Structure 1
Amino acid sequence: MEFWQPNSPLGGLAHVKSGRSRRESSWDRSGGNRDFAVVPAGETFVIADIAGAGRIEHIWLTTRCYSEKYLRKLVIEMFWDGEENPSVRAPLGDFFGVGHAVAKHYISLPLNAVFGPRRGPKGPFAAAMNSYFPMPFGSHAKIQIRNESDQPIENLFYYVDYELSEQPIPDDVARFHAYYRQEKPATAVRHTTELENPAPWDLPGTNLTGDDNYVILDATGTGHYVGCVLSIDNFDASNQVFSWPGEGDDMFFIDGEVWPPSLHGTGTEDYFGAAWGFPSGEYAGPYHGITLGASPQEHFGLWSMFRWHIEDPVRFEQSLRVSIEHGHANDQGNDYSSVAYWYQLGEHAPHADLPPVEERLPRRWPEHGLWDE
């Protein structure tokens, strides 16, 4: 039998498993071609309401909304097994890896966004977003889109592909979670030096607590972290010459541990799988990439990046605090926003509602050359 065991994901395709394939979608029930929903401003639309035990395998959707920066104004929420507080809560664009409401094409293993050059008067609409994160549920699943913009979603097209099982969900199968956070701006901790133009490794200041770091995830319970999307608006330099925001180290405090953390990194670009100030500019790989990049020389501007812990999940039994410095020893005061993704057993701590729309909009926005002060 050992010979027949699959040795790769593709190898497993030959093995037949029990289950019922199902889909929720926006297809026109009249038989026409109006295969979309319309969501008025301020309203919520449920795209999936599923009873039974199963697993969501794929979500695809595309929207047309003429509200500027609408990818930060629309919110996606997911509820598992009758819970009142969602396990997933994030702006629609950020959940799918699109930071700062700036449409960019990228491909990764669990998420992708397919954007072309076409634009509407207020931003991109010729676009699609996909998730391949497996999302198990034991008795019920609900996914909804909240329209917090001032304009209707004129077209909401969607697929939610899932499988149902006659077998109950095993006790060791965790639920999928994702949550958005932001600090605008992160509070800078200023340091002084007598050096006129210090090299990156000679920047002043130390951080031996992690207390002032930007927090990507603060979870309680048992589970594992599988990655994040991090977006930075870089406008606050460490000094007049050194404008790079990436000297901030990543830190993972597991199960309530104090300093030092079990996982301590060496720099932002290092954690996101690159080096030396992101010289590549924008790129996308299966597990890490830069979906939005400013100038590799001057660094000022909008950055968005992803890092997936598919092969190296960070496991925790009681709690996990994932954080990253904003500049070396938190010496920069830039705008930070993020979505963390993780799997967790049992109930999760309630997620606070998102900041009001105006507070979560990007400070600066480059679509069509429009930059808001």
Structure 2
Amino acid sequence: MKFIITIFLFIESLIVSAQQVVNFQTELRRLSDISLLPQYMEGTVVKQISSYDRTGGNDDGFSGKYSFIRKEKGGLVILDAQGSGVIERIWTPTPTNDTLDFYFDGSSKPGLSIRFNDLFSGKVEPFVKPLVDAYMVGGYYSYIPIPYAKGCKIIFRGEKIMFHQVQYREYNQSYKVETFSLAGALAQKDLLRKVTNLWSDENRMISNFKYSGVKTIEKEMQLMPGESTIVALITSGGRIAGIELDPPAIFDGLYKQADIKITWDDEAIPAVHVPVADFFGYAFGERAMESLLIGATSGKLYCYIPMPFEKNATIALEYRKSDELQQEPLRLKTRVYYTAQKKTANEGRFYAKWTHDEPATGQPYVFLEGKGKGHYIGTILQAQGKDYNNFTEFFEGDDQTYIDGELRLHGTGSEDYFNGGWYAQPGGWTARAGAALSGCTDYSIPLSRTGGYRFFLSDKMPFNKEIKHTIEHGPVNNRPVSYSSIAMYYADKAIAVSEPPSNTVTKVLVPDTVTFYTNFLRHITYNGGVDFKDGHALVKDKENNSVTINVNEVPDGRYEMYMNTLDATTDRIGIRIADVTKVYDWRTVALQPGKGDREVYLGDVDIKHNTVPVVPVSIMFRSEAAPGLIFNRIVLRKK
């Protein structure tokens, strides 16, 4: 018996000694050492607990009904994870000054107590910016890792918690996880400073990533329409460390005719076959993204995502010809950085699935779906509404990620997925802004468009058999929408194949109808006897009434202008319009007294972006009696 026990203890000691150590230091390293990005994370599962509406509705935190697991004395339990793991990301648009208590490994005392706000404020170490951020396009996030050996329970010490997501990774027994301690985390100041310096450095360069043995292939080239050329051909194993193209201005515009194609190891289909503008984060014809890994500055396009291969790699550019365009030659410089370090058995190849789709109501938009082994590392999305009532409520959709047949992550809204919040609200998801791993690439209510990006470093999502990564389209957000996206992942082989880009789907859609709502973002300024009341505009005086419309986002052209009225106490009103060309004469517009949703034609206006700032459109009102006119939007239709 003694001999058997000795053998058992010996075997147990071998298992323990073979375990891979996971602690605050190792997890923090994964936020800066991007050479780790291609590596598989065997024996791990990524999950998320969030406040999403379990009925399929849109109460994703408003009432707080779905924002906790259970009540315990003095608080609300928002996470109760069992076994070994690490919290990799916490997000909310609604933090409070209430305390969060983190109980580790079954302890009856919290191992970490911190105000919910201070997870993101940057005022409490080790929760420092930019690894945490407050109100970045409406959302608050923290990527500070919080590991635990035998479980973690988070209790919110307040009466109500609203929107939140807690993403965490479970580790199996091949890992030895060391539980978070504040003292241990604070001892990693040098490593913490290294990560924060990298994330904060806006000078995007290959040297930021400390590769050794980097070689460069540099070319100058001119592409004519219909031509393609090889940028780099590497005939022995290695890894791409960076790709740079310049100048960025040649990829501006509504027509995305240039494509990048990357092929690994003699595969029949390119691993990357994407419009250049989309791949480097342009949005609706303009530079829009400068993330840590990929984007476009004023001086260059860059991609520093590591891409290992076994035998060979080909990077090419293709310039599609269009019969409807007068195309100039593409004159550019290219730089490809690579090393001789071949792909290892525990690494995947890099793939990018480009998708353009207009899903039917109730059908999700699919970023990536397929069978195989790998891990998901990035999303770039553009969304363009296509109907008359231009707005962006299609961004209500929840992301859902099914991995190996199980729903592992369920989000709370489209802008939430990109670490934002509160679209169309001041201080929220309302304008182009971004951080190292996530951000908003564009937002326009008048043009009914938006876009975002998110990259997964420490929180990359492994799959062993299959993945289906989607975002909801309907029934709440049920307008027709055109989506374009890039889903980035590593895998043994491609799990989904992109349709080759074509001229019919790469042209940026420009709506011929733009809408200005009185109750969102205040594109309309109220002057004199016009008030903003209950979300609508009220014209209340007989004279000296006017509104000014900010048309910065409206393309040049001549437009018919309409006003959607809700109520009026008179049957006619005088209208005088001013645009960039002139102040027009007064004219009388007929109204229908009483309540009702009616559209009234006001006249034609010209919009030209030949002045800085752009000249707004103004509407002046006068009437013989107090008009009591209430309207809720101004609509411009291109002639």
| TM-score with structure 1 setting the length | 0.74
Matched, 1:173 2:323: no
In 1: Cα distance, 2:252 partner to 2:434 partner: 28
| 8 Å contact kept, 2:370–2:496 | no
Larger radius of gyration: 2
Shift of 1:254: 1.1
Partner of 2:398: 249
Could you tell me the percent identity over the aligned residues?
28
Partner of 2:134: none
Superposed counterparts of 1:5-24, under 5 Å: 8=29, 9=32, 20-24=213-217
Structure 1 residues 363 and 216: CA distance shift in structure 2, 3 A: same
| 8 Å contact kept, 1:253–1:262 | yes
Structure 1 residues 335 and 350: CA distance shift in structure 2, 3 A: closer
Matched, 1:343 2:510: no
Partner of 2:221: 37
After superposition, the C-alpha distances for 1:164-189 in whole angstroms (9 at most, x for unaligned) are 13xx5321111011121011x33234
| 8 Å contact kept, 1:85–1:350 | no
Please point out which of 288, 291, 303 is paired with 1:131.
303
Shift of 1:252: 0.7
Superposed counterparts of 1:169-208, under 5 Å: 169-183=343-357, 185-189=358-362
Superposed counterparts of 1:96-111, under 5 Å: 96-100=280-284, 102-111=285-294
In 2: Cα distance, 1:152 partner to 1:47 partner: 20
Structure 1 residues 62 and 219: CA distance shift in structure 2, 3 A: farther
Unpaired runs of at least 5, structure 2: 1-20, 34-190, 199-209, 512-551, 558-637
Structure 1 residues 164 and 294: CA distance shift in structure 2, 3 A: same
Shift of 1:353: 3.2
SS state of the match for residue 359, structure 1? helix
After superposition, the C-alpha distances for 1:187-236 in whole angstroms (9 at most, x for unaligned) are 234xxxxxxxxxxxxxxxxxxxxxx1011111321010001100011244
After superposition, the C-alpha distances for 1:108-158 in whole angstroms (9 at most, x for unaligned) are 11112113xxxxxxxxxxx52111100111111111111113425331211
Partner of 1:93: 277
SS state of the match for residue 106, structure 1? coil
Shift of 1:65: 4.7
Shift of 1:330: 5.0
Matched, 1:158 2:334: yes
Shift of 1:315: 1.0
The residue type equivalent to 1:229 in the other structure is: I
In 2: Cα distance, 1:356 partner to 1:52 partner: 32
After superposition, the C-alpha distances for 1:224-249 in whole angstroms (9 at most, x for unaligned) are 00011000112448xx6975221101
Unpaired runs of at least 5, structure 1: 27-35, 116-126, 190-211
The residue type equivalent to 2:421 in the other structure is: A
SS state of the match for residue 245, structure 1? helix
Partner of 2:439: 289
Structure 1 residues 153 and 328: CA distance shift in structure 2, 3 A: farther
In 2: Cα distance, 1:241 partner to 1:52 partner: 52
Shift of 1:361: 1.4
SS state of the match for residue 246, structure 1? helix
| 8 Å contact kept, 1:228–1:339 | yes
SS state of the match for residue 216, structure 2? strand
The residue type equivalent to 2:254 in the other structure is: K
In 2: Cα distance, 1:306 partner to 1:350 partner: 20
In 2: Cα distance, 1:337 partner to 1:247 partner: 17
Partner of 2:478: 331
Structure 1 residues 74 and 268: CA distance shift in structure 2, 3 A: same
Partner of 1:81: 265
Please point out which of 524, 540, 555 is paired with 1:369.
555
In 1: Cα distance, 2:371 partner to 2:230 partner: 28
Structure 1 residues 243 and 342: CA distance shift in structure 2, 3 A: closer
Q: Whose relative contact order is higher, 1 or 2, with alpha carbons under 8 Å and at least 6 apart?
A: 1
Structure 1 residues 54 and 252: CA distance shift in structure 2, 3 A: same
Shift of 1:309: 1.2
In 2: Cα distance, 1:156 partner to 1:226 partner: 29
In 1: Cα distance, 2:385 partner to 2:241 partner: 36
Structure 1 residues 350 and 231: CA distance shift in structure 2, 3 A: closer
Q: Size of the alignment, in residue pairs?
A: 311
Structure 1 residues 20 and 318: CA distance shift in structure 2, 3 A: same
Shift of 1:83: 1.1
Partner of 1:206: none
Please point out which of 33, 54, 60 is paired with 2:238.
54
After superposition, the C-alpha distances for 1:298-320 in whole angstroms (9 at most, x for unaligned) are 6x432121011112111101111
SS state of the match for residue 103, structure 1? coil
Shift of 1:350: 6.0
| 8 Å contact kept, 1:65–1:153 | no
- List structure 1 runs of 4+ shifted beyond 3 angstroms: 5-13, 17-20, 63-68, 240-243, 327-330, 365-368, 370-373
Partner of 2:534: none
SS state of the match for residue 86, structure 1? coil
In 2: Cα distance, 1:254 partner to 1:284 partner: 28
In 2: Cα distance, 1:370 partner to 1:84 partner: 45
